[in-house]
């Protein structure tokens, strides 16, 4: 390779030289790796990757270009993008633009032509950490001189860590919007249920999956109050995926406790799972390198079925994985809880189910755009939880 045009600098001082990919300049963030062999467009536009530099472990990225149908949000959220061999040109009838062009147009700094296998092994051994990508003007000081590796490392060291970061409000919608049930035989003329979805970094496919089941979804900002949620008369409340440290999400946890106290059916995904754990009184902790990809095996303990699932999380719930436990918050007022799902690679908690409240959550992504659909039944479970509660209330009122 000729003279490198970009460098990747890790917080521990390791440096990788490569080529500029996408925009030039510099970017910093927590560097993480994604093991998916497909779905890079969905990854780039997932708000959960806010302030993270994503390394794709699959070597060839960009083959299918970029289209206007697959984004999970209105923009790219990753702080930076790292690939080994970018496709020189896209090859898909759905493609509208090349990947490098899209990254450049949205000012996303990337790097290519580096050994992503060595980088991934390094992050598995040392854990995810802060990093920076520097190219073009990002490699130069004000006088136009090349910055030293130590200069670049100082920039990385000044970046804020992910631990303690409260980021949901930075990615959440600012105004409420509604996703109506899909017309046709699924929904008929009216909704089977109304859900208030708290947007902590929601992916567009989540309300889509609910709409396919005849559900009307009001997506509301992360700053929503309990009174505003109740005013929408929800049959159920949903907490989405999102970025940041769940221990910093004080407002969201208090909101969720209001939902639980009113026994409104609740479903949480990813960040929503972590927040349910914290609302119940369990702790959360940061994983060494997290789970990110579309090939993670998880067991549903209710059925003993193993699902291949899509993940994107760097934190996890600290709850007993065997038997029933009493939720620790406020002397156990939320009753019994079980860990409903567990990761088979490392035993991490992947789901919670309340036995005395209509609430459950999973750590992975059952909407699984560009991923397996093994866990799609969880949306059916949520609908069943809401409709069965409504049926019981109707029967009670008639008597």
> For 157-181, what is each residue's pLDDT tens digit?
999 999 999 999 999 999 999 999 9
- pLDDT value at residue 11: 98
Q: Which residues of 322-350 are buried (b: 16+ CB within 10 A; e: fewer)?
A: eeebbbebeeeebeebbbbbbbeeeebbb
- pLDDT value at residue 239: 98
Percent over 90 (pLDDT), the chain: 92
How far apart, in whole angstroms, are the C-alpha atoms of residue 261 and residue 335? 11
What residues act catalytically? 270, 365, 367
The string of pLDDT tens digits covering residues 293-334 is 999 999 999 899 999 999 999 999 999 999 999 999 999 999
Residue 290: which of 52, 72, 7 has the closest Cα?
52
How far apart, in whole angstroms, are the C-alpha atoms of residue 359 and residue 224? 20
Q: What is the DSSP letter of 248?
A: G
Q: Is 312 annotated as a binding residue?
A: yes
Q: What is the pTM of this model?
A: 0.94
- pLDDT value at residue 360: 98
Q: Is 133 exposed, middle or buried (0-12, 13-18, 19+ CB in 10 A)?
A: buried
- pLDDT value at residue 190: 84
Q: Is 273 annotated as a binding residue?
A: no
Q: Is the pLDDT of residue 184 over 60?
A: no
Q: Is 314 annotated as a binding residue?
A: yes
Which token pair is 326?
A: 């009493």
How far apart, in whole angstroms, are the C-alpha atoms of residue 23 and residue 1? 20
The string of pLDDT tens digits covering residues 362-378 is 999 999 888 889 999 99
Q: Is 384 exposed, middle or buried (0-12, 13-18, 19+ CB in 10 A)?
A: middle
- Ordered alpha helix ranges (H), the chain: 40-44, 99-105, 116-126, 149-157, 168-171, 205-212, 226-231, 250-261, 271-279, 377-398
- Averaged confidence pLDDT in the chain: 94
Q: Is 41 annotated as a binding residue?
A: no
- pLDDT value at residue 187: 44
**Owner of token pair 């609302």:** 279
The string of pLDDT tens digits covering residues 205-247 is 999 999 999 999 999 999 999 999 999 999 999 999 999 999 9
Q: Is 48 annotated as a binding residue?
A: yes
- pLDDT value at residue 393: 65
**Mean per-residue pLDDT for 20-38?**
96
**Mean per-residue pLDDT for 109-131?**
98
Q: Which residues contact 399 (CB under 8 A, 6 or more apart)?
A: none
**Domains in the chain, CATH or no CATH each:** 6-157 (3.50.30.20), 168-398 (3.40.50.880)
**Owner of token pair 């019994």:** 336
- pLDDT value at residue 368: 86
Q: Is the pLDDT of residue 395 over 60?
A: no
């Amino acid at each position: 390779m000729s003279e490198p045009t970009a460098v990747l600098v890790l917080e521990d001082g390791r440096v990788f030289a490569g080529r500029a990919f996408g925009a030039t300049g510099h970017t910093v963030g927590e560097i993480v790796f994604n093991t998916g062999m497909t779905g890079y467009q969905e990854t780039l536009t997932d708000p959960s990757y806010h302030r993270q530099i994503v390394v794709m472990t699959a070597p060839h990225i960009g083959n299918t270009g970029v289209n206007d149908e697959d984004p999970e949000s209105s923009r790219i959220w990753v702080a930076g993008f790292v690939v080994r061999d970018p496709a020189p040109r896209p090859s898909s009838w759905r493609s509208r633009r090349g990947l490098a062009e899209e990254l450049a147009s949205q000012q996303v700094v990337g790097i290519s032509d580096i050994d992503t296998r060595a980088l991934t092994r390094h992050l598995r051994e040392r854990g995810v950490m802060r990093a920076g990508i520097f190219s073009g003007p990002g490699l130069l000081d004000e006088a136009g001189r090349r910055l030293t590796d130590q200069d670049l490392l100082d920039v990385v060291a000044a970046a804020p860590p992910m631990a303690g970061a409260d980021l949901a409000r930075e990615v959440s919608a600012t105004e409420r919007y509604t996703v109506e049930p899909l017309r046709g035989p699924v929904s008929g003329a009216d909704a089977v249920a109304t859900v208030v979805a708290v947007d902590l970094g929601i992916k567009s496919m989540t309300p889509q999956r609910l709409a396919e089941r005849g559900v009307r979804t009001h997506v509301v900002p992360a700053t929503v109050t309990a009174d505003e949620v109740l005013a929408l008369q929800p049959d159920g409340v949903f907490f989405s995926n999102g970025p940041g440290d769940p221990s910093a999400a004080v407002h969201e946890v208090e909101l969720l406790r209001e939902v639980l106290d009113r026994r409104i059916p609740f479903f949480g995904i990813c960040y929503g799972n972590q927040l349910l754990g914290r609302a119940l009184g369990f702790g959360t902790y940061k994983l060494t390198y997290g789970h990110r990809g579309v090939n993670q095996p998880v067991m549903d303990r209710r059925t003993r079925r193993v699902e291949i699932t899509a993940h994107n999380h760097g934190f996890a719930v600290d709850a007993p994985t065997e038997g029933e436990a009493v939720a620790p918050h406020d002397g156990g007022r939320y009753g019994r809880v079980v860990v409903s799902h567990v990761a088979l690679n490392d035993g991490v908690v992947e789901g919670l189910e309340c036995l005395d409240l209509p609430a459950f959550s999973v750590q992975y992504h059952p909407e699984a755009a560009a991923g397996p659909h093994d866990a799609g039944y969880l949306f059916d479970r949520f609908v069943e939880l809401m409709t069965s509660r409504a049926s019981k209330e109707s029967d009670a009122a008639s008597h």
